[in-house]
Structures are given as C-alpha cells and as structure tokens.
Structure 1
C-alpha cells in the first residue's frame, strides 16, 4: 500500500512498485530521482520535437504574460485564431473548420457528434458507425464504444452503444473492403472511424495505405463520412505529417491531439469539412453544435500549438522524420534476427516487434517485466503486453537508440 493519494492511469497499484520521481526533462531525456531515462515512447506518444522544446516553451511563457483561460463561447483570442489558420493550411485538403477540445478522447467524441449532427440536420438521420477490429480511440464512453471491446472496458459494457465491426485489414485488405462495401451499401451508415495505417493501443498493428484509399472510395460512393483518428498517427509518427498523406486521402473529419503542442501541454482539435460546418449553420438555434469544455481553446495551449505548427510549416521536419525512420529500421532489422522475436514491423518512426510467449495479449506477464528491466537500464518503455514498440521523440540520437534497442535485446537474451 502506498502513502501517496494519487491514483495513476492504467496502473494496478497492488502489483506496481513506487514510480521514480521526475525532476527535469529535456530532449529525449527524463531526469528522475533514480537517474536518467531515455524516453523511448515519447511519454505516451505525445512528445515530438523533444521535451521542453525551447520555441514551444518560450511561446507558453510569452502567452502567460498577457493571457490565461477565457471562455471561448462569445469571445476569442489571437492564439486560437492563428492556430486554426495554421491547422487548416497543414491539414489534408478540404478540412476548413477547427473545433478545439482538450484531449484525444474528447476530439473523437466531438467527431462522432459532428457526424451524427450532420445527418440529423440534413434531414437524413443516419446513425450506424463502422469501426476496425482492434481499434482504440480513447477511454470516455463514446470512444470506448467505437474501440475494441475487451479488458480495457469490460466493466463499462452496459454504457456503450453498438457499432459495426470490420476485420483488421490484412494484406491488400480485400476482406475488410468487401465487408465495408456491403455495410455502406445499406444506405444508413453515418460514418467510419479509424486510426489510419497504425492501430496504436491495439498492438501497433499496421496496414497498407491502399486500404485507406479503398475505404475513402467506398465512403465517396455511398455518402459515408470518414473520420480519421490521427491523435497518435499525426504530427510525423508515420513518416509524414499525417498518416492520411501516405494514401493521398482527405477525411471528412480529422482528430488531433498528443503532438499538437509538441506534447508540452494538453490540447486537441477536431477538423471538419465546410459541408459539416454548414449543416450546423442555421438561424434555427436547435441546430447548434452542442459541445464544449470549460477549457476549450486555452490560450496557453493554443500558443504552444501555434509554435509547433510553425515548426511543421518550415522546412526540415521531413528530413528529421526520414533520419529517425532510417535509424529505427537498422536497429529493428538487427534485433529481428533473434529467435525470441516475431512480426517485426515499422511505419515511419514507429517500430514494433512481438516477443514469443505462451500467453500473449495486453495482460501478458512479460510486459511489466520488460518495463522494469528497461527502467533499470535507463530506458522508458511501456510494452503492450508482449508487443514491444519504440516511438521516440524526433531529437533522439543514434547512441540513445542503441541503448534503447540494446535493453530490449538484453531482456530477450
């Protein structure tokens, strides 16, 4: 039993040791009371350029001199307005409107409500939602409903709504596309929501960009809205700014958070097409988009997001992504030769491999053991059961990556 009153996320306190205390962060390094850690998972996939990235931290400091939280219904401010314009410029073509919230889960909740509101307000009240097997979209009720059912959410099943599930797209995705075509042809499918190219918490499962293109084409044929959950995959993780860029597709709604501020401070945004916005535009106030949070468009978070967006708008990020991807590929190929491993895979800067174990899955005992082993060797990992992944900040060095992959190899050896 711990003396701390803190109840930590995704933590079984009965089996977990007391965590190290973080004292300082910089680059790919977390300084704790137990020593230095290389952050090989970007602190749950949020840190992009590196911890305490100077331009972003400076933007927060400067904004704090003049602004704190202000209500965003009936008022506005420059950081939010400027960031929205930058997001529209960076986003896939056709996304013209930006709705702010405060986490990946809420950005998905917003997307689902936008989709259903669109159909209701246009006089065609479609309500069915299609999802991919093993998908994960958050831990609120709506996002759990459109995610995979299992140990994450079994206790909350009575609260969740039904969805139409598609098989994970293996190979060319023919089975998935055929199933979706049949569903969409019924005429009452409102939207499909998916993580483009990489299913994160579902085990870093990866699929081909041509599948994404096929899904977009089916949506176009049958008038189904496509929601791209780019909360994890956005901001360069897959080797492009957005995972959708690999397939050259534009979703009707895009969700972003995590790397939106470079990971410095919470912020989320849901981007939508003009058609979806116009479906809510009316002198009839009952067609208002009824969603908000108290901290919508927090000025300090928007200032951080704006600094981040301007980094992406400048030259240089693609070369950095390519360099990290190349370093990851070299080390993944080397470790994949070991007999304890299987299913090595990579998309952009994300590399993953599975440990051969008798009992696989999220609750596989090997996960906590590997996490503790890595921590003792100065590396922060958080395996998904027997799936080991490395998703580092883009500032990571070759030597630091060597230390990360060596810790994994030592465990398996």
Structure 2
C-alpha cells in the first residue's frame, strides 16, 4: 500500500532532511502518527522519523545541511532536527532490553520489524518510505486503521507489563480512533492490570487523562473505564454519576468545543475540597487547580458578567456550562467580553474629602459592589455613586 499524498510530505526542508538521512538508500522512514493520520485523512501535527543510523551519525548529517540537532533523548536514540516549520524527532531503530512498567533500557538495532514490535498498538507501528510512499505494516495496522480498532501488538498483558501507561493510552486511542466495538483482549487486559497504574507518576497519569478528555466526545470511553474499574486505583471519585455529568456537559458544549480541565471537573463531585485533593494528587498546575476548585463551588450560577467579574471569564464559562440548564445566553454575554476595571481609585475618594486610610478601601469596595450590580456603568455614573457613598461616610 502507498501512503496518500499530503501537504506535509512536500515540505522542502523535510525532503532535504530525509535525503540527508539516506532516504535514497532506505535508511529512514516516516513512522507512527504521521502515517496513521495521513491514512485517516487527518491533519498531521507531529512528524517522527526512524532510522538505522546511529544517533551520532544522525546529528552529524542534520548539522551538515545547516539544521540544528538537539540530543533530546540520546540515551534512547532520539535526536530532534529543528526545521523552520517545527521540530522533527529522528530516532534510531531500537529494541527493549529490560522494562519495569515505567521505563525501558534499549539497545540499537538495524531491524525495522524489531523496532515496530516494541510499539504499543498496531495502528502506531506503521512506517512509510519517504521516496516511494510504500507503507510497511508488520502487524495488521492498516486493516485496524480502516476498522477503527485499537489493538495491542502481541500479548496485551505483556505489553502493559512493559509500560503501565499503555492502559490509559489504550482508552485514549480508542476514544479518538475507535469505531464500533472495543478490542476485547485489550480491554480485559487493562481491567486485569488496572492496579498497575498506581506505580506511575501522577504527572503521567494526568497528562494521559487530560488528552483523553480532550477528544471530541470521550463519554462512552469514560463509561467503559468506569464499568471496568480503570479509575478505581487512582481516581476513585469517578463513578457512574460522573459519566452522566460528563454527558450533560459535552451536550452543552456543542459547537463551542470541549475543554479537558472543565470535563475533569464534571467527573468530580461538586465539592471544592475533593477538587483540591484531586488536583494535588494529579499534581496539576496552579491554574488547573484553581479552575477545578472554582467549578466545584456550591450555589446557582450568577448572571454571566457578574460571575466573570468575580472569578474570571474562563471560570465563569466553566460554571455556566457545568451548572446552567441553558447556558446559551450567558455564554453569548461573555463572548469577546473582558471584565472592566473600576474606573476610579482611592485618589478620587481622597479628592472628594475622605482621609487616606482603611476607610478609603472600604468605601471603594462599596462603590465597586454597586457598580457591578448596575452592570458596569461609565465613569460619570461611578462618580455619582462615589459622591453618595462619600456623603454617607461623612455623615457617619
């Protein structure tokens, strides 16, 4: 089978790179996602090459054509060639020597099939010749791409033992590429080895989970994971109710598109304490932690712009989509809107007769509350409010 034509294949710098790496002698191939996504007619964002050349020779050849070579994973044979349109990873063919479920020790090889055999799924083990476009398929990956089937290469239990993260990757790839039923052998292996996830760093778990939640509609896949106990070892808070909340959120998001952090919030009970615990467990960023906690705050959503002024536009959008039965009007009010700043400051109140100090801050806060309640009027109205508030203070 021949790889379909695609714009990415014609980039002059990529052609120059593959020629330097020996494409005319069969020393380099496109591998992995670029081949898979091109077969599916999807845009290709990440380009990876595999080669029988040593990492040192790859670096030398990349530099010989005026490109920067970065040894990003030299112990595992990876050199990143920095092209004008973006980085391209070039990895020397390898085989696993030892694995412990989290990392592997590798040895370099010149056997293309041996290199493909160490990859996780058949759809990720495809490679293609840069010159002829011929696809090399050692494990039935082309057929699985056509079927929308995510299938482990070889024994699923053995592949999971090599790298426990493959449990979550199985479901992420199924959510993105799966059509129809899930591969039963893979599903049963993931369910049997779910406790292996406890050995992984929480950062790796969070990264995979957020990628999974970022697909167009992850609901059915999340339901499958709940049904088979995949979340229990690391996220026991996710249950059947979580699936229902996620389904409602995805329906409300509609054409506006999904957001992985917001969808994670939907999976959790509306409890800020639980949200904070999960954020800490997954070692999320401060911004992600704050979003989870704000999304979990109790109470009915306030008017959209008042809410956005209080907690920010992103958090307000999260709250509306998670809580409101019909968030359409509120979301429309936030589109392209930036919460304004109060158009006066403490100096204006001093000019009106207040003495600098705590009373100025308290009066400014009272003015801001009224300004917000009135829908953020212009400065003339704010000054009128300030006159009234200052007069009250002076009377007191």
Specify if TM > 0.5. no
Q: Highest CA radius of gyration, 1 or 2?
A: 2
Higher helix fraction (1 or 2): 2
Higher strand fraction (1 or 2): 1
Specify which structure has the bigger relative contact order, considering alpha-carbon pairs within 8 angstroms and separated by 6 or more residues. 1
TM-score of the two chains, using structure 2 as the length reference: 0.24
